[in-house]
Amino acid sequence: MADNNPPTNGHGVEIRLEEVSKRYPGQKLPAVESVTMTIPAGETVVLVGPSGSGKTTTMRMINRLIEPTSGRITIGGQDVLGLDPDLLRREIGYSIQQAGLFPHMTVGENVGMVPSLLRWDRKRIRERVDEMLDLVNLDPAEFRDRYPRQLSGGQQQRVGVARALAANPPVLLMDEPFGAVDPITRGVLQDELMRLQADLGKTIVFVTHDFDEAVKLGDRIAVLGERSRILQYDTPEAILANPADDTVAGFVGAGAALKQLTLRRVREIEVSQVPTATVDEPPSALRERLGSRRGAIGLVLDRRNRPLRWATARDAGAVSSLERAGRPVEDSVAMSSTLQDALEAILTDDDGVAVVTGSRGEYVGVVDIDTVMNTIKALREEHADPGEDQS
Ligand SMILES: Nc1ncnc2c1ncn2[C@@H]1O[C@H](COP(=O)(O)OP(=O)(O)OP(=O)(O)O)[C@@H](O)[C@H]1O
Ligand SMILES: [Mg+2]
């Protein structure tokens, strides 16, 4: 990693911390005490924990903005303590709250800072700056020559991410990068980061106070206690389903079961079927398929198999064409929707059912509250503590 052409080609590499401690001068207790963890290559690992638990200290030891008192840190197998700290920092992207942009430098100069330090030629830097601004959804022509104070908070944060990515580092350290923006902008920036990461496959260490943000972004979450003690280090699913102790449970907060629903997609669950008929069929066709079961509900589909109306046998008996039977289908969920979206649709539907549609809007099946309940139950069992009584 230490030469000017990292062999990683910008793809994520593994980071290992082995019994890493930091004691600040004059402090009785270490700020970070004997932390051991492996951050797998290409994954996003989120550190969450209360204020003062040592998250920033832990993160900044990885690029040696803070020197560890003891322990070992390797990046892609290389001991970082044996590297020149200046070189090391140029090869690790770093983005912080309030973006940390240099106010006297333009957006373009900020983004191009590390490439200039690495002595890229001017043309290559200029191209890279524009490419990075594009990547974070800022029009280069509009933003390249502005100063940070001429940008909104969310735009500054985007520039911060562009700057961190400019030299194509294999590792990205992000310390509450979206902490200072409003919830809506934060959601947008989180979505952008997820999209970027799906393409780039960096190893990202991300610090946040916000457990929901951790669940959304993390492949894994490390819940830290005092002195960065690792209380639990696992996938969001596993932590939500089975918090290691009361402190972690407190951090997860209320609604863990609901949060799990944001992690599952409709395509992962088994949808059920209801009787269907197309608009061109006689109403009696739907009535027959629905049979005599009281309250049973079926779907009228249009000629391209898209759901049109909900109808009971009685509804079908009251009309001469299925075009007018029952009530219109107001809402549907896609295979890529989260189970939370599906639950929302179920709760707002009169009959408590949500229609699932495919990529062309065609009928695929339905989900109801039982489907969602079974999924939550299955998740809980999947992640159950083996020592726990499961009867
Ligand atoms: N330069 C320093 N000198 C002395 N103590 C420090 C220094 N920097 C941090 N600390 C202490 O180390 C501990 C961990 O601080 P750190 O900034 O790593 O916490 P954090 O988890 O990032 O907190 P926050 O969520 O508030 O950002 C705190 O008790 C802090 O007061
Ligand atoms: Mg901090």
What is the number of the ligand closest to the CA of 33? 1
Residue with tokens 């609604």: 255
What is the number of the ligand closest to the CA of 51? 1
**If you measure from the C-alpha of residue 175 to the centroid of ligand 2, how many angstroms do you get, rounded to a whole number?**
7
pLDDT in single tens digits along all 391 residues of the chain = 444 444 457 789 999 999 999 999 999 999 999 999 999 999 999 999 999 999 999 999 999 999 999 999 999 999 999 999 888 888 899 988 877 899 999 999 999 999 999 899 999 999 999 999 998 889 999 999 999 999 998 899 999 999 999 988 999 999 998 887 888 888 888 888 888 888 889 999 999 988 989 998 999 999 999 999 999 999 999 999 889 999 999 888 877 778 888 888 898 888 999 999 999 999 999 999 998 877 799 999 999 999 999 999 999 999 999 999 999 998 899 988 888 889 999 999 888 999 999 989 999 999 999 988 888 888 778 777 665 554 4
What distance in Å separates the CA atoms of residue 132 and residue 154, rounded to the nearest whole number? 16
Q: Can you list the domains of the chain with their CATH numbers?
A: 15-253 (3.40.50.300), 268-376 (3.10.580.10)
Query: Residue 193: exposed, middle, or buried by beta-carbon count in 10 A (0-12, 13-18, 19+)?
Result: buried
Q: Is 56 in the pocket of ligand 1 (CB under 6 A)?
A: yes
Query: What kind and span of H or E run contains 217?
Result: helix 211-217
What distance in Å separates the CA atoms of residue 4 and residue 119, rounded to the nearest whole number? 10
Index of the ligand 1 atom closest to the CA of residue 176: 27
What is the number of the ligand closest to the CA of 48? 1
**If you measure from the C-alpha of residue 15 to the centroid of ligand 2, how many angstroms do you get, rounded to a whole number?**
20
Residue whose C-alpha is closest to residue 2's, from 60, 71, 63, 65: 63
Q: Is 55 in the pocket of ligand 1 (CB under 6 A)?
A: yes
The pTM is what? 0.79
